[in-house]
Amino acid sequence: MARRVLVALALVPMAADAFRPTSPLLHTARMHRRTVTAMSTEGAISKRDARRNIMSKDDFIRSPQKFKEEKAAVDEMMLAEFKSTLVQDMRKTGYEYTRGEGNEKITFKLAKEFGFCWGVERSIELALSASQKFEGKKLHITNELIHNPGVNEMMGANGIEFIEKTDEGKRFDVVEEGDVVILPAFGATLEEMQLLDDRGVTTVDTTCPWVSKVWNVVDKHKKADMTSVIHGKYSHEESIATASFCEDYIIVKDIDEAEYVANYILNPSEDAKAELLRKFKNAVSKGFDPEKHLKKVGIANQTTMYKKETLAIGKLFEKTMMMKFGPEEVQERFAAFDTICDATQERQDAIQEMVQEPGAKDELDFILVVGGWDSSNTAHLVEIPHSAGIEAYHVNQADCIKADNSITYRDVDGEIKTKKDFLPLDRPAVIGVTSGASTPDAYVQESLEQLFLLKGLSKA
C-alpha cells in the first residue's frame, strides 16, 4: 500500500479577524489553549452555534446519504481489505479455534466483543466515498483517520494526502480553495473548522457521533457556568478537539491526577495553586485560575478512556464538592453524563470476562491485543489482563511477530519492547485474542497466521 503523502510548502500568511484563527499554521499541542475572543463580546454566538453554522452549509458533508452512488464500490473495497474468514469461523464456533496436534497444537480464544466499531466503519466509509466522489480534486485529511497504520496507508493509496505536522503546527497553507478536506474520526477543533470554512473548501466530516456527544456535554457545562474536567490525554486529537469547544477546562489523564486536583479544591493555598498550574500547564484553558474555576465542575471524557476510571473520577469530584460546599449545593456545583463510547465499554467488558473465567490465569499463555500503538482504546484493553496478572502483547500489525519466535509489542506503560521465544513451541499453546475498535478483522487474521507459521502450521 502507498505510504502517507506529506506536502511541505512555504507558509502563506492569511488575513484573520478576531473570530478566526490568526494563522493557517495551527499548533496541535497548543491549539486548545487559544480562545476565540469575539465569542465573549456582546451579541457574539456561542462556540456550539459557530460549529452548527459551519455544519449547516452545503459544502460541509457528514452524512453517508450524500454518497449513495459511491456506496457499492466502497463496500467492495472495504470487504476486500478488512474481511477475515478465520475470524468469521471463530464467531461461528463459539469464539474458539484450534489447529494442530501434539506440541504444534494452538488454540485461540476470542473475546466476544472486539474489533471494528460502527463509528470507525462509518468514518472509513465516508473517507473512501469522498475519494471516489471527488476523484480529480485535491484531497487532504487533517490527521490520521483512525489510529491504525494499515487503514491510514489505505487512505494514502486512495489519493488522500495527510496534512503535514511540524514543530510549529499543521501545514494548512497547502489547502486551497476548492480542495476537499476530510476531518478524522476524532474530530477537529473549532479553529480548524473555521479556518477551512474561510478557505472555501468542501469539508467531509467523519467525526464519530460519540465524540460529538461529548461536545454537547461541555456546552451544557458552559451554560451552567461550570469548568469541564476532561478525563483524557491532553495531547490526544480528540481531547484537543473537545477542549476547543469548552470555555474553561482542565484535562486529567487518570485518577491520580484527578485526586491531585481534588486535593487542591479541599486544601487551597497560593503554593498549591502555583504548583497545580505548573503541573497542568499544557492541560488547562487560557487564563485558568484554580481558585476561580474549580468551584463548579462538570465531567467529560475522551470517549476511548477506561470507563471504570472515568466513573471513579466523577464520584471523586462529586464527593469533593460535597465535602467543600455541603450536600445541599452538590447539584449546583457538579454534573456528570455518561459519554463513554458503547463500543469501547463492550470491548473492555469482553476482555474482563475473559480474564475472570475460572482458571484463565493458568490456561492462557498470553493475550494477543491487535491494534494501533497510538490507539487509546486498544491500550486500555492491555491494562485489563495486566491487572489480572496475565501476560498481554499489544501488536500494531502482523510483522511484529517474527520468524525467530520474537515479538515486538507495546507494553502497559507505552514502551516498545521485543521479547524472544514468546510462543511455547515445546507444548500446546492457548492464546487469548482481542482487538481495538479501530482494528479490521483481516489484520487480526494476519497476526494469528504468524502464530500458525511459528507452530509449523499452514496459514488459514
Which residues carry out catalysis? 238
Residue 391: HSE in the Cβ half-sphere, 13 Å Cα cutoff: 13
For the four alpha carbons of 431, 436, 439 and 440, in that order, the dihedral sign comes to positive
Beta bridge partners of 418: 408
| Alpha carbon of residue 258 to chain centroid | 20
Grid cell locating 204: 467531509
Which run of H or of E encompasses 196?
helix 190-199
Task: Return the amino acid letter for 449.
Answer: E
User: Following CA atoms 218, 196, 375, 66 in sequence, which dihedral angle do they give, to the nearest 10 degrees?
Assistant: 90
DSSP-derived 3-state class of residue 153: helix
**Could you tell me whether strands 165-166 and 227-231 are parallel, antiparallel, or unpaired per DSSP bridges?**
unpaired
Tell which residue, 253, 249, 191, 270, has the closest CA to residue 16.
Answer: 191
Residues 6+ apart with CB under 8 A from 395: 368, 369, 370, 401, 407, 408, 409, 410, 447
Question: Pick from 387, 398, 233: which is nearest to 409 by CA?
Answer: 398
- DSSP-assigned beta bridge partners for residue 141: 162, 182
Which residue in the block uniquely carries the three cell numbers 465516508?
126
Q: Are 218 and 238 in contact (CB under 8 A)?
A: no
CA distance 79 to 60: 27
Nearest-10 Cα torsion for 119, 121, 123, 124: 160
Integer Cα distance of 386 and 296 in angstroms: 36
